[in-house]
């Protein structure tokens, strides 16, 4: 087709219509408040009938500006997005599932159960999973992330490692009510968007901070 044959674009088609202008304004506001839209978790990117989070028996939306900023309630009948609290995962027998690709699966025996006191250190290394192994670190980073998962579940429930571990267990168990998969939780932990991470993208530490707040305050409220 020749250029002379093309139908002239209307202002709206050129991105100049009121709807397009409003859209750009919303995007600019989100960029200014919370970084690039593509760097936010999917729950915060959603529009329209967005999934909502559960806290204190109330339903909240994640805003487009910050993962941790919650507004409004949603129409009745929508399925709220939530997960269990830590206490659920220190009870016996919550099942098994996902394999992390590094030789370990999530099971009660290797992540939740406290070994009998007579088990040797070598037995624990062979049969109990450490946080850093489960979360895909190339080597032991030290500190709290060096601990076994069963230790972290029974330590401070406000620690970052506890919150991340509970989020991963929720993703493993609650496919219909938890908004992220197991791999998605791991990507968020390392600062990558689970649904939008261009090849060669750098990790964004602020993304994991926002996701941590979302998991702690709105997605681990169910006993």
Name the residue among 145, 113, 143 with its Cα closest to residue 128: 113
Question: Does 61 share its domain with 106?
Answer: no
Strands (E), the chain: 53-55, 58-62, 70-71
Question: Does 146 share its domain with 199?
Answer: yes
Question: Does 96 share its domain with 46?
Answer: no
Question: Does 114 share its domain with 163?
Answer: yes
Question: Does 160 share its domain with 50?
Answer: no
Strands (E), 70-189: 70-71
pLDDT band at 148 (very low <50, low <70, confident <90, very high): very high
Question: Does 142 share its domain with 202?
Answer: yes
- When divided into structural domains, the chain yields a total of 2
pLDDT in tens, 150-180: 999 999 888 999 999 999 999 888 888 888 8
Bigger pLDDT: 129 or 36? 129
Q: Is 1 a domain residue?
A: no
Name the residue among 20, 80, 42, 33 with its Cα closest to residue 185: 42
Question: Where in the sequence is the domain holding 51, given as residue range(s)?
Answer: 7-71
Question: Does 181 share its domain with 157?
Answer: yes
Q: Is 59 a domain residue?
A: yes
Cα(114)–Cα(109) distance, integer angstroms: 8
pLDDT band at 65 (very low <50, low <70, confident <90, very high): very low
Q: Which of 31, 46, 71 is the last residue of a domain?
A: 71
Cβ-proximal residues to 196 (8 Å cutoff; 6+ apart), any chain: 38, 39
Question: Does 116 share its domain with 27?
Answer: no
Mean of per-residue pLDDT scores for the chain = 72
Q: Is 159 a domain residue?
A: yes
Task: Collapse the DSSP code of 222 into the 3-class scheme (helix H, G, I; strand E, B; otherwise coil) and give the result.
Answer: strand
Q: Is 43 a domain residue?
A: yes
Question: Does 67 share its domain with 149?
Answer: no
Q: Cβ of 136: how many Cβ atoms within 10 Å?
A: 14
Instruction: Give the DSSP per-residue string, 136-194.
Output: T-SS---GGGGSBHHHHHTS-TTSHHHHHHHHHHHHHH-TTT-SS-HHHHHHHHTT--S
pTM value is 0.72
pLDDT of residue 166: 95
Cα–chain-centroid distance for residue 64?
15
Question: Does 92 share its domain with 29?
Answer: no
pLDDT in tens, 5-24: 433 343 333 334 444 445 44
Do the beta carbons of residue 147 and residue 161 sit within 8 Å? yes
Question: Does 184 share its domain with 90?
Answer: yes
Cβ-proximal residues to 98 (8 Å cutoff; 6+ apart), any chain: 105, 106, 171, 172, 182
Question: How many CA atoms lie less than 13 Å away from 92 in the CB half-sphere?
Answer: 1
């Amino acid at each position: 087709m020749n250029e002379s044959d093309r139908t002239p674009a209307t202002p709206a088609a050129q991105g100049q219509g009121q709807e397009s202008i409003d859209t750009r304004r919303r995007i600019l506001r989100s960029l200014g408040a919370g970084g690039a839209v593509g760097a936010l978790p999917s729950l915060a990117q959603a529009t329209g009938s967005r999934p909502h989070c559960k806290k204190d028996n109330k339903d909240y939306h994640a805003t487009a500006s910050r993962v941790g900023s919650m507004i409004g309630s949603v129409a009745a009948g929508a399925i709220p997005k939530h997960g269990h609290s830590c206490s659920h995962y220190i009870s016996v027998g919550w099942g098994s599932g996902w394999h992390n690709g590094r030789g370990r699966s999530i099971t009660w025996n290797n992540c939740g159960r406290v070994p009998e006191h007579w088990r040797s250190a070598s037995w624990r290394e062979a049969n109990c999973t450490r946080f850093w192994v489960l979360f895909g670190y190339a080597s032991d980073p030290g500190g709290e992330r060096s601990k076994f998962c069963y230790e972290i579940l029974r330590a401070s429930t406000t620690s970052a490692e506890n919150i991340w571990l509970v989020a991963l267990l929720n993703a493993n168990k609650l496919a219909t009510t938890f908004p992220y998969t197991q791999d998605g939780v791991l990507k968020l932990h390392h600062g990558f968007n689970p649904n939008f991470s261009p090849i060669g993208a750098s990790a964004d530490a602020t993304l994991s901070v926002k996701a941590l707040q979302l998991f702690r305050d709105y997605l681990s409220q169910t006993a």
